[in-house]
Structure 1
């Protein structure tokens, strides 16, 4: 997979999610959400869900979990996705032809 394929899948997922999302909650999640709502008193419960997604995303990026999954699934990192270029494209490493090791040191 590649950077282009990752971008395409991101656009598809973004479209699929849309504005509204219905989520079923198990007992533990419902209990935790009730506690957070009671303690933090947001205007809407939706705000807590948005914050939770932001926190999960941030921790996934900061711990390297995002890069691990992107590298294994698409062979790119999150930074490469953000810049729209692979590391090899950024550094120019893919500009040069591959070296022929048998003739490498011959003059």
Structure 2
């Protein structure tokens, strides 16, 4: 394969992104390049991107920062269904909601 083949594949992938009109031009171009280079479905690339963003946000502590700022809880507290105070006996404990027990 050559540079011309890559350019053609990226252009074709870009043209296939009509359903993603919410993306800006740069994001569409990057998504087209990833689709061509990785030979992956666009929906699969978006799923991977979400997982990667979630993982990096969680590992860096930014998720906990934003959760604490907005909801006054951390991700661990969300997963356990109780706050740190409730875990240590500081307040009354409610039964955890098992639907929220997503393990990262």
Which has the greater radius of gyration? 1
Query: Given the alignment of the two structures, is residue 83 of structure 1 paired with residue 51 of structure 2, yes or no?
Result: no
Give ranges in structure 2 of 5+ residues lacking alignment.
Answer: 1-18, 93-104
| Aligned twin of 1:30 | 28
Alignment partners' CA distance in 2, 1:23 and 1:87: 43
CA deviations 1:20-72 (Å, max 9, x no partner) are: x9661111101100110011111x21000000000001111100010001101
Aligned CA-pair RMSD: 1.8
Give ranges in structure 1 of 5+ residues lacking alignment.
Answer: 1-20, 96-107
Q: Does the residue aligned with 1:93 lie in a helix, a strand or coil?
A: coil
TM, length-normalised to structure 1: 0.64
Alignment partners' CA distance in 2, 1:25 and 1:89: 42
Aligned 1:19-98 pairs, distance under 5 A = 24-42=22-40, 44-94=41-91
C-alpha displacement at 1:94, in angstroms?
A: 3.5
Q: Does the residue aligned with 2:73 lie in a helix, a strand or coil?
A: coil
Shift >6 Å, 4+ stretches: none
Higher helix share: 2
TM, length-normalised to structure 2: 0.66
C-alpha displacement at 1:91, in angstroms?
A: 1.1
Q: Does the residue aligned with 1:76 lie in a helix, a strand or coil?
A: coil
Alignment partners' CA distance in 2, 1:25 and 1:71: 30
**Structure number with higher relative contact order (C-alpha < 8 Å, ≥ 6 residues apart):** 1
